[in-house]
Amino acid sequence: MTNDIELGSSETTAKSTFSRSVMTWASSWRVPGASSLKSQNYQASGLGSHTERITIEDRRKGYPRFSALMAGHSSFQIYRHFLDLRTRLLLLTQDEIVELEEQLDHIDKTEKSPLFLASRRDDRNSDRSVVTTKLRSALSAYDELLDGTQRSLKYESPHDKILRIFPTIHTFKSSLVPRR
């Protein structure tokens, strides 16, 4: 399904087919607040109630309008999890950590001075210092990726009705307007 929000077509249309289908859906689904989506107030906090009301249709076509529409209700907050990419980065980082671990084991096994193995402060082996610094960085990156993946897995999947209304959300590459 293509819509004028994606194509950035003429501003002469009063309501896009896409907006009408969302309005129809919003009023039929009986979600509190969703039926008043057209008149959603986007006031900046702290400005009071005398600010101008801006509707979704008042926004420029493209990302300004589409993001205003998605911000109109929590049910419209649909984003990709990128689980394949997250998993790939986790596996690559794991492999990097294993390589560094093997390097550290080799440095430890070939160490000539037992004192260097017994005291970090007295260790004069610069190779070990370089590898442990790389390990600290790689483990930190791994932990961050792992935490992000776990948080991403906790998000609920959107309702099927929402996915039918927003069929292109998961296919966006970088723009709402086709490349020329």
Q: Is the pLDDT of residue 171 over 60?
A: no
Length of the chain: 180
Supply 42's token pair. Answer: 């986007």
Average pLDDT of the segment spanning 107-116:
83
How do residues 48-86 score in pLDDT, each as one tens digit?
A: 455 677 888 888 888 888 888 888 888 788 778 899 999
19 vs 98: which has the higher pLDDT:
98
pLDDT of residue 98: 98
- State the pTM of this model: 0.59
Q: Phi and psi (nearest 5°) for 40?
A: -55, 130
Residue type, 155: Y
Q: What is the rounded distance in angstroms from the CA atom of residue 34 to the CA atom of residue 24?
A: 10
pLDDT of residue 119: 79
Compute how many other C-beta atoms are within 10 angstroms of the C-beta atom of residue 96: 17
